[in-house]
Every structure is written in structure tokens, then in C-alpha cells.
Amino acid sequence: MLNNVTALAISKYICSADELARRSGLHLTMGDDFEEYVGITSRLPGKLPTYPNFRPDCSDLPPGNAFWIIGRDREGRVAHVQAMRLDDLSNTNIAEHLESLRACFTDPNVKAGPDSSCISSAPTARQITGLVAYHGDIWLREDFRGRGLATLIGRIAFGLAWAKWAPDFIYALVAGWNVEKGVVDRYGYLHRERHGSVLRLPAHRIDDDDWLVWLTRDELLRTLSRSSASPLRGESTLSATA
């Protein structure tokens, strides 16, 4: 029973996944100071700039509603980043949230800049509502790719989101190559639709046509209850009755 997946079981799962990451040479830390986070991500060779969704000069990111994960190698160099934020969309939906530009800016009129726009034509975007977690700014250094770590770091983020918020949905906006190459599958997202966010922010040099990918609350729990903590050592199932 999904309802029997306890906070203790999720905590054990996260600890197990963190240990597997360490064995793979990736030492993870978590935080909620996004000034610190952007200071780190802005200096990473090969990583695109952090979008306004996770920049404190653009978005309100209070400690209880947003967190980041940073992974360092054995020499202390940053090898991985990702972030999550929670939005209460009880009176709206993802499509309206994106198209209003409030997904990126606390006050779009002040921060978005001229000629900014977003169109979300993914059919399900207007059905995703309630407490919704956005998962983004995901980057893994090239020398850590191809080790099966995408599944591991995705599940850690999912577990932390469940432990902190128990959201109704988790979603991400991804470039088409993430779908074509199976990256979305490895992170654990079960649904995907084209044109989730056709975003134009000229002042921020952003011109995207991203897919919407997502999990429901029950699918998130099911993923955490049965998924491997890491493909590096096969299946390791989280007990649903812990």
C-alpha cells in the first residue's frame, strides 16, 4: 500500500542512495541559500546559466519552499547540481503559471524584460494543479556521465521532495534531446508532452521550446517504493511497510 510508505522508509532510502553516490565518487550536499547556489553554478564550465526560476534576484525562494543539491568529486570540485522549488497552484495550473511568467519571476512586470512571453500548449499542463514541485537546473559533469548516476541523483531529489512537501505533482521542462536520448526515463519521469514551455526572454537570452515531463503523487511514491537506489548494484527496493 502506497499509504504505508513512511517518512522513516524514505529517509532510509535517501541515506542508502547517498552512500551509493559516495561510492561512485560523488559527495552530495543540500542547501537552501540560492545566493550561494548561483555563485557556484555561474562558475561551472560547460553549464548553461541558472534560469530565473532558481535565481534569488528574480524569484522568491524561501528556505521552506526550495532547495538545491550539489555533488562534488573526491577533490572537492563541483560535478553535479540540481534544484527544486514548490509552488502552490491550488487556484491555477502549470500552463497558467508558466504563461504568466510567475514560474520565473516573482514580479514579471519588473524582471521579465520587454517582448517576454511563454506559451504552454501541452494538453496536460492545464490539468496539473495543487502543490507542484518544479525540478530543474540539472547538470552532471561530463566525466561523471555514463555511469548510471542519472537515476540515482534523480531518485535522491524525488525522495527529498516527498519528505519535505509530499507534492501532488513533480514536473520538469526539458529540451527534446533529453527525451530522445532517454535521459528523462533515467531520471524517472513517466509522462512527457511536447511544447510544455515555449519561453522567450530576450533580456535573459532565453529562447526555448521545452517538453513537459511529470509524475503524479502516487507515481512518485510508487517510484520511490520499487525503484533501484542505483543501477550500479541492481535492484534495491524500499520497503513499503517500513
Q: What is the CATH number of the domain that holds 107?
A: 3.40.630.30
Give residue 175's domain range: 2-227
Residue 190 in any domain: the answer is yes
Residue 152 Rama label (left phi>0; alpha psi -120 to 50; beta): alpha
Reply yes or no on whether the pLDDT at 41 is more than 50: yes
Confidence of residue 1 (pLDDT cuts 50, 70, 90): very low
Contact (Cβ atoms closer than 8 angstroms) between residue 124 and residue 213: no
Number of domains the chain contains: 1
Residue range 99-118: mean pLDDT, rounded: 96
Residue 48, C-alpha cell as written in the block: 548553461
Phi, psi values for residue 108, rounded to 5°: -60, -35
Residue 238 in any domain: the answer is no
Reply yes or no on whether the pLDDT at 81 is more than 80: yes
Quote the CA–CA distance of 224 and 230 in Å, as a whole number: 12
Residue 236 in any domain: the answer is no
Quote the CA–CA distance of 235 and 59 in Å, as a whole number: 39
Residue 77, C-alpha cell as written in the block: 570540485
Phi, psi values for residue 103, rounded to 5°: -70, -25
Quote the CA–CA distance of 4 and 50 in Å, as a whole number: 37
Reply yes or no on whether the pLDDT at 179 is more than 50: yes
**pLDDT for position 154:** 87
Reply yes or no on whether the pLDDT at 72 is more than 90: yes
**pLDDT for position 228:** 39
Average pLDDT, the chain: 88
Residue 232 in any domain: the answer is no
194-234 pLDDT tens trace: 999 999 999 999 999 999 999 999 998 887 776 433 333 43
Q: Helices 149-165 & 217-226, crossing angle to 10 degrees?
A: 130
Residue 126 in any domain: the answer is yes
